[in-house]
Amino acid sequence: GQQLNQSPQSMFIQEGEDVSMNCTSSSIFNTWLWYKQEPGEGPVLLIALYKAGELTSNGRLTAQFGITRKDSFLNISASIPSDVGIYFCAGNNAGGTSYGKLTFGQGTILTVHP
């Protein structure tokens, strides 16, 4: 089935450093979403991207929708300990055979050392 390749799989960084992670797909998506999941909880939506080339920020988070519609990246600036968690990208092609279906990347595990 459709796969999203997310990298890196894990990151160990010092507090204050910037973080970058990305997702690539073999097929296009109409929407890219980025989520964060903490232990014992469901994923929380961080940023939604709707247009190719779109660059969107949410506080210290910035994400971009690739112009080919097959990739997206997420940057976190000046990381803090509470940024720890698993970050997932997800692609959505709402409608038709894709109703309600998000395709997820494998996740990036982020560890921040104080």
Binding residues for another protein, rule: CB under 8 A, are 1, 30-31, 33, 35, 40-45, 48, 50, 88, 90, 92, 94, 97-107
By beta-carbon proximity to another protein, the closer residue of 54 and 77 is 54
Q: Which amino acid is at 114?
A: P
Between 19 and 89, CB nearer to another protein: 89
Of residues 76 and 89, the one with the C-beta less far from another protein: 89
d(CA 92, CA 78): 29
The two tokens of residue 61 are 């988070």
> Considering the complex, what minimum distance in angstroms separates the CB of residue 15 from another protein?
27
78-79-84 Cα angle (round to 5): 170
Least gap, CB of 84 to another protein (angstroms):
18
Query: Minimum distance from CB of 78 to another protein (Å)?
Result: 26
Angle subtended at Cα 65 by Cα 37 and Cα 35, rounded to the nearest 5 degrees: 5
Quickly count: other Cβ atoms within 10 Å of residue 108's Cβ: 23
Shortest Å distance, C-beta 40 to another protein: 8
